[in-house]
Amino acid sequence: MSETTLDVVGIGNAVVDVLAQAEDSFLVRHDLAKGAMTLVDERASEKLYSGMGSAVEISGGSAANTMAGIASLGGNGAFIGKVKNDQLGEIFSHDITSVGVRYTTARATDGASTARCLIFVTPDAQRTMQTFLGASVALGPDDLDEAAIRDAQITYLEGYLWTSDSGRMALRKAAEIAKAAGRKVAFTLSDAFLVDAYRADFFEFIRDSVDILFANEIEITSLIEANNFDDALQISRDLCEILALTRSEHGSVIVSGNDTYIIDAAPVLDVVDTTGAGDLYAAGFLFGLTQGLGLHTCGRIGSIGAGEIVSHFGARPEVRLADMIASELD
Amino acid sequence: MSETTLDVVGIGNAVVDVLAQAEDSFLVRHDLAKGAMTLVDERASEKLYSGMGSAVEISGGSAANTMAGIASLGGNGAFIGKVKNDQLGEIFSHDITSVGVRYTTARATDGASTARCLIFVTPDAQRTMQTFLGASVALGPDDLDEAAIRDAQITYLEGYLWTSDSGRMALRKAAEIAKAAGRKVAFTLSDAFLVDAYRADFFEFIRDSVDILFANEIEITSLIEANNFDDALQISRDLCEILALTRSEHGSVIVSGNDTYIIDAAPVLDVVDTTGAGDLYAAGFLFGLTQGLGLHTCGRIGSIGAGEIVSHFGARPEVRLADMIASELD
């Protein structure tokens, strides 16, 4: 196996987040499932936007956030995902490139506009997301940068891509390329609604192709169809090499073979917006792995990344995470 | 004079701000004048953007920020300014409408894209702005909502509009309509570079058409060509009915005939980004005037608005200013 120049290549939806504060009553009035991500079409997105308060636009996308986090930690990364050649696409491309992530996926020249995710942040800092996938569903196997995937230590795949045929084909092909090159494949279940919709497919894909799985409590419990998280944890132990299971303010549990590591959440003075917490946990964890650190340290770096991201609006780091983790690496 | 339903109509550039943190060394490297607003063409804007860090997009525009502030204070306002029918134009329109400002200016269907202002926020919270005016310079006299101007107690004009022939014509016509309807005209000098460029024109316009003038220390001192602020203050006393002169962290001085009011800045725990401080001072001050409050109270409400806006990124209020000023209105 040749030496790699890329630590991680992430593949996911290329999305611009549109964030606004909202009261719980707004969620009720518009029948939005609190804390969840729901897919909507352009018309529904526009209708909801017209009822939304004054907003802030910040680049997002789950795997894209993770890659921005890895760059902020000092890692070498690339992102594969599709925007249109419109203003939001320009914003997305600028932001991910500006933090040092290699991003070369060809922009769509026609069809739907760049994906946007309306995010309603309630006073409890919880985020409720409504995503119009737009151009991002046009990502297909032909968009993969095969050299980057062969080159990267880890290929990180976003479960959200599973909802389109072309996205699913891209994920499968990326996993094959990585495997054939002797690299690791990481996967995140992304959202409980995906687990419900694609349980058998996910299970098979993980068993056959995934080395490192990210999931939160609800997602893993649903995947395994267990009664509770503890059962899910024991049953899923043999599912793949490493499981990183996140539990919001309760931290995370890492399972690898017979080993189990319990990781605390990083202390956060004021939780402002939980958007991107899972994405940045994955960033810290994967960065740690690529640096050859122990799983416990990987989890701690994940907690630090998640802690930074929930302390402000938006899902991209506002400070250099490399500075925050310096003491962990001694 | 009939009873008004609008408190203030603001006329200015319709701009989306693109904010990023930057080191002072970045300003030096790109030869940017710290703290100033500089106009750039699309090409220069794109070049600078490509060197800019990961950014956040938030609706801006000086008079537009002021109108958002007046709405947040509970006032009734309208905004006149031009965007293109592109994604940034949609964002601008959404944001100003969502806070309750009436905004009906027709969008440009061709020509330059919606204006954007690249804002570099240095660690000292100072902002340095590079604006590509785009579609906003297409605003002309025909875009004026004459009924709104006749209806509003105060028509508030942004000095930035002076740089284009059509904008200048729009400002002059708006002032005429307001005057003819027996309404007040307020004007902000906007930036020292405008005062340098248009000193004689500004002076004449203020003397002939302006009742309420907003300026910061540098702008008023330059307008009067005085040696220092104290001289400028005395000399400019007869320039118009009310002068509201802002002095950053030193608060403001209000001059009206022989009366002078010294207003403290509102205490701010952590100044994050000074973008919009002057705009929100004007919002508070004008709102106070439309409510028939004394000049000292108007200045205090201005200070409170400015204090809120510098405590976070972006130039639109994040909390309901009406709640913050409740005690001032007792």
Over the stretch A174-196, which tens digit does the pLDDT of each residue have? 999 999 999 999 999 999 999 99
Model confidence, pTM: 0.94
E strand segments, chain B: 8-11, 15-21, 37-39, 56-59, 77-80, 102-103, 115-121, 127-132, 154-158, 184-188, 212-216, 242-246, 252-256, 259-263
Q: Inform me whether the C-beta atom of residue A50 falls under 8 Å from chain B C-beta atoms.
A: yes
Tell me which amino acid residue A56 is.
Answer: V
Contacts of B52 in chain A (CB under 8 A): 94, 98
ipTM of model: 0.92
Q: Is A210 left (phi over 0), alpha (psi -120 to 50) or beta?
A: beta
Interchain pair B55, A91: CB under 8 A: yes
Contact between residue A324 and residue A308 where contact means Cβ atoms under 8 Å apart: yes
Cβ-based burial of B192 (10 A; exposed 0-12, middle 13-18, buried ≥19): buried
Contacts of A59 in chain B (CB under 8 A): 54
Is pLDDT above 90 for B315? yes
Cα dist. A92→A159, A188, A227, B54, B306 in Å?
Answer: 20, 21, 40, 9, 31
Q: Residues, chain B, total? A: 330
Is pLDDT above 80 for A329? no
Q: Inform me whether the C-beta atom of residue A49 falls under 8 Å from chain B C-beta atoms.
A: yes
Contacts of B92 in chain A (CB under 8 A): none
Query: Kind of pairing, strands B212-216 and B184-188?
Result: parallel
Q: What is the pLDDT of residues B138-188, one digit of tens each?
A: 999 999 999 999 999 999 999 999 999 999 999 999 999 999 999 999 999
For residue A62, the distance in angstroms to the closest alpha carbon of chain B comes to 16
CA dist., res. A248 & res. A265, Å (int): 8
Q: What is the pLDDT of residues B77-129, one digit of tens each?
A: 999 999 999 999 999 999 999 999 999 999 999 999 999 999 999 999 999 99
The residue among A23, A47, A83, A87 with the most chain B CBs within 10 A of its CB, best to mutate, is A87
Contacts of B98 in chain A (CB under 8 A): 52-55
Contact between residue B202 and residue B194 where contact means Cβ atoms under 8 Å apart: yes
Q: Inform me whether the C-beta atom of residue B55 falls under 8 Å from chain A C-beta atoms.
A: yes
Token pair 């290699």: residue: A102
First vs last Cα of chain A: how many Å apart? 28
User: Residues 80-139, chain A: which have Cβ within 8 Å of B?
Assistant: 86-88, 91, 94-96, 98-99, 113
Provide the b/e sequence for A40-60 (b: ≥16 CB within 10 Å): beeeebeebbeebebbbbbbb
- Paired strand residues for A38: A130
CA dist., res. A149 & res. A300, Å (int): 26
Q: Inform me whether the C-beta atom of residue B152 falls under 8 Å from chain A C-beta atoms.
A: no
User: Domains along chain B?
Assistant: 8-329 (3.40.1190.20)
Nearest Cα to Cα of residue A164 among A209, A134, A199? A134
Contacts of B19 in chain A (CB under 8 A): none
Residue B98: which of A52, A57, A316 has the nearest Cβ? A52
CA dist., res. A229 & res. A247, Å (int): 10
CA dist., res. B36 & res. B288, Å (int): 28
Nearest residue in B to A53, CA atom:
B98
Contacts of A314 in chain B (CB under 8 A): 56
For residue A151, the distance in angstroms to the closest alpha carbon of chain B comes to 26
Residue B98: which of A53, A88, A91 has the nearest Cβ? A53
For residue B226, the distance in angstroms to the closest alpha carbon of chain A comes to 41
Cα dist. A309→A46, A220, A247 in Å?
Answer: 27, 23, 15
CA dist., res. B54 & res. B75, Å (int): 35
Contact between residue B256 and residue B226 where contact means Cβ atoms under 8 Å apart: no
DSSP assignment string, B75-86: --EEEE---BSS
Tokens linked to A272: 């402002």
Interchain pair B56, A58: CB under 8 A: yes
Is pLDDT above 80 for B1? no
DSSP H or E segment with residue B282: helix B277-290
B211: Cβ contacts below 8 Å, ≥ 6 apart: B184, B185, B186, B240, B241, B242
Contacts of B53 in chain A (CB under 8 A): 98-99
Cα dist. B102→A14, B2, B9, B159, B167 in Å?
Answer: 33, 20, 9, 21, 20
* Percent of chain B scoring above 90 in pLDDT: 95
Integer Rg of chain A from CA: 18
- Paired strand residues for B102: B78
Tell me which amino acid residue B159 is.
Answer: G
A176 in helix, strand or coil?
helix
A142: Cβ contacts below 8 Å, ≥ 6 apart: none
Residue A57: which of B68, B91, B318 has the nearest Cβ? B91
Residue A95: which of B54, B86, B98 has the nearest Cβ? B54
Interchain pair B53, A87: CB under 8 A: no
Give the count of alpha carbons within 13 A of B45, CB side only. 22
- pLDDT (average), residues A249-257: 96
CA dist., res. B61 & res. B6, Å (int): 20
Contacts of B314 in chain A (CB under 8 A): 56
CA dist., res. A237 & res. A46, Å (int): 43
- pLDDT (average), residues B233-238: 91
* Percent of chain A scoring above 90 in pLDDT: 95
B124: Cβ contacts below 8 Å, ≥ 6 apart: none
Give the count of alpha carbons within 13 A of A65, CB side only. 30
- pLDDT (average), residues A118-133: 95
Q: What is the pLDDT of residues A279-318, one digit of tens each?
A: 999 999 999 999 999 999 999 999 999 999 999 989 999 9
Contacts of A316 in chain B (CB under 8 A): 54
Q: What is the pLDDT of residues A134-174, one digit of tens each?
A: 999 999 999 999 999 999 999 999 999 999 999 999 999 99
Per-residue pLDDT at A1: 42
Per-residue pLDDT at A330: 63
Q: Inform me whether the C-beta atom of residue A65 falls under 8 Å from chain B C-beta atoms.
A: no
CA dist., res. A243 & res. A255, Å (int): 5
Nearest residue in B to A113, CA atom:
B87
Per-residue pLDDT at B4: 62
- pLDDT (average), residues B24-48: 94
Using pLDDT thresholds of 50, 70 and 90, give the confidence band for residue A2: very low
